[in-house]
Amino acid sequence: MALFVVWGILSHAQERWELRKDKNGIKVFSSTTEQSDFEAFKAKMLLDGSIQSFVAVLKDIESLPDWAYNVKYADLLEKSGDTLQVYYSEATAPFPFRNRDGIYLNRFRWISDSSKLFVDIELLHDYLEVKDKVVRVKGKGFWSVYVLKTGKLDVTFQMQVDPGGNIPAWLANIFLDDTPYFSMLKMREIIKKEKYQNQIFDFID
């Protein structure tokens, strides 16, 4: 059901995407939604690496701070086979705002007919009690990855997040492109690491 909620909210604004950044082969777009004052982002890039390595990067939760923008700490809470994982992460916020945390549910789905990986992202607000001096975020999104005939990966990362607390929407929207841009930039390097090579996930045929 979460998959259809994501598509219903995020693709509804599909015709209103505005290009925010086009740098180093990464394009970041923003869009307004009827559900929130906080804009959604969509980021796209071509990535060198195998689809198995890409999945390995996403599943290595403890190493998330190595590439995910401003992530301070991450911990795997639950998993079911290779296709579902729940994890906690805390992100650093600039002064005077408190750090943000979230409980992320990732569902992995491989569509063999189109050589496409889809990762549905749902934030579970009440999965764990909120820590002191940290604000829990809400949101949803997805990764969509096509394996091209050239061997490259056509990657799309799309999210709409409400950071909660007293961060005004206009301020959050100004810096919206930072998270996808810098995360994708670091992912290009991280995916080359030896530990992500030659991994096999049975749900990908």
Report d(CA 44, CA 143) in Å as an integer. 10
Residue 95 is predicted with a pLDDT of 86
Residue 11 is predicted with a pLDDT of 46
Report d(CA 44, CA 8) in Å as an integer. 20
C-alpha dist (Å) from residue 25 to 22, 42, 47, 109, 148: 7, 14, 10, 26, 16
Residue 1 is predicted with a pLDDT of 38
SS3 readout for 42-53: EEEEEECCCHHH
Residue 94 is predicted with a pLDDT of 87
Give pTM, 2 decimals.
Answer: 0.90
**DSSP tag of 127:** S
Residue 53 is predicted with a pLDDT of 98
Residue 180 is predicted with a pLDDT of 97
> What stretches in the chain show pLDDT beneath 70?
1-15
CATH H-level superfamily of 15-196: START domain (3.30.530.20)
Residue 15 is predicted with a pLDDT of 56
